[in-house]
Amino acid sequence: MQPFRPEVTARLAELAPLLLDQLDSMTDRMIDVLVRTEPAYRELLGHGEEEMRTTTRANLERGMQTLIGAANSNGRTSQRDARDVGRRRAAQGIPLEAVLRAYRLGGQVTWEALLEVSRHASREHDALLLEVAGSVWRTNDGECSAVAEGYREEQRRLAGVDDEARQQVLDGLLDGRGGDPAFVRTASELLAVPLAGRLVVVVAMPDPDGVPALDAPAADLLKRGVRSVWGVRSGAQVGIVALGQLPGCEVMAWLRGMAAGPVGLSAVVVGAPAAASAYRLAETAARTLPPGSGRVVTIDERLPEALLSNSPEISSRLIGQSLGGLLQLPDDEREVLLDTLAAFLASDGSPTRAADELFCHRNTVMHRLRRIESVTGRKLTDPRSRLLWQLALLGTEHRRPVQPRSA
């Protein structure tokens, strides 16, 4: 954008605070028009309104700042940002025609807001703004060209990245090549996924029939503005998700809406060098869940189970040593006693609360607990015995959740 004459620049500086105050209402107007007129944007908003609103507001604000500070504006930055928008919308599957209409709508909304604040500034006809009009539309046309350029670049990139190349890059990251700066740069460019920031690794186990636990997770997350790369490893779906500033709990909530099988998440890590260890944690978390369960858990939620699952020999010995003869009892008696032990431990060692959970008399619970002591050779009052029992029950997936007490 060419610098304006001094008197035009002064007028824009005078109107700038008023125009910036309209940013939220301008965003609302754009979102409203896009929802009503563009089916592709309507679908996108249905998957992630917050991302769309944030992007729209940022684009409008950038255009306004460029207009207001035309004498000092950086055209290269504006063009670069427009190309980024084009690439993002191409990856999200929005038709180019719809993207360009949305960009031109942004120019229209900005110009109309400028006229409106000018009228409210006690000037019915502001001839100085006529000089601004041409610059607004020239800038908008230039940015539309940059959007189209970025869009087509992303289309070419997506067409050139086949599943085999994507899997090779993913395998490299999970095998520990994230510490190689050259490899990470190539991977980021090839996949268009930022690997230098906050990441979380996801592992989703298939159901017993081999059906994937997550259906098209990359596309689903991208509609929410979140980039990721996915592949298959040891029969499981594996993804590296670039969080940006997004809280990990939001991605977890979205995955819960998709999951048809066990899904494990690593802790949030920073940078590609941590991807390999994050993968191991996510895989461990997923494998602590029973097959076929549509649950999504973080490794931090499953630390005791993870310890047991990573040491099967120790886990087996712990169960045998802790529960002892309980596991050799007839089925009916064994299940009753295991249920009673689980309820007792979940009730912080209170026979009365355990009886409430089991819908039986306290004396019945006491009788069963004495039987457990006799069969296992351990004492209910021994803290170490309680710890071993708790771990053993986790290892057998035999545990009873504590029901909330009524107020």
Strand 198-204 to 236-242 pairing: antiparallel
Q: What is the predicted pLDDT for the residue at 401? A: 38
Residue 140 — pLDDT band, cuts 50, 70, 90? confident
CA distances from 77 to 72, 74, 84, 157, 377 (A): 12, 6, 11, 22, 74
CB 103 within 8 A of CB 147: yes
What is the model's pLDDT at position 8?
Answer: 76
* pLDDT reported for residue 394: 80
Please give the residue that has the higher pLDDT: either 108 or 152: 108
The distance in angstroms from the start CA to the end CA of the chain is 66
pLDDT bracket for residue 18 (50, 70, 90): confident
Q: Which residue has the higher pLDDT, 81 or 370?
A: 370
Whole-angstrom distance, CA of residue 251 vs CA of residue 243: 8
**Which of 123-127, 215-219, 249-253 is the least confident region?**
123-127
270 has which bridge partners? 198
Is the pLDDT at 159 greater than 70, yes or no?
Answer: no
- Predicted local distance difference test score (pLDDT) of residue 296: 92
Model confidence at 386: pLDDT above 80:
yes
Question: At residue 402, what are phi and psi to the nearest 5 degrees?
Answer: -75, 130
| Average pLDDT over every residue of 270-281 | 93
- Quick one: tokens of 69? 């500070």
Residues 215, 260: contact at Cβ < 8 Å?
yes
pLDDT of residue 160: 65
Q: For 10-19, 73-82, 87-96, 277-286, which range has the lowest pLDDT when averaged over its residues?
A: 73-82
pLDDT category of residue 403 using cuts at 50, 70 and 90: very low
What is the predicted pLDDT for the residue at 72?
47
pLDDT band at 71 (very low <50, low <70, confident <90, very high): very low
Label residue 293 exposed, middle or buried (CB < 10 Å: 0-12, 13-18, 19+): middle
Determine the residue type at 42. Answer: R
> Is 80 exceeded by the pLDDT of residue 311?
no
Contacts of 180 (CB under 8 A, 6+ apart): none
Looking at residue 173, its pLDDT comes to 92
Mean pLDDT estimate for the chain: 83
Q: Are 66 and 78 in contact (CB under 8 A)?
A: yes
- Summarised one tens digit per residue, pLDDT across range 223-263 is 777 888 899 998 899 999 998 888 888 888 888 888 888 99
Token pair 């890059």 is at which residue? 169
Residues in the chain: 407
What distance in Å separates the CA atoms of residue 20 and residue 29, rounded to the nearest whole number? 15
pLDDT of residue 400: 40
Mean pLDDT throughout 200-205? 94
Copy the structure tokens of residue 38.
């563009």
Least confident of 129-143, 176-190, 228-242, 333-347: 129-143
User: Nearest 5°: CA angle at 339, between 336 and 345?
Assistant: 140
Find, among 39, 112, 92, the residue nearest to 227 by Cα.
92
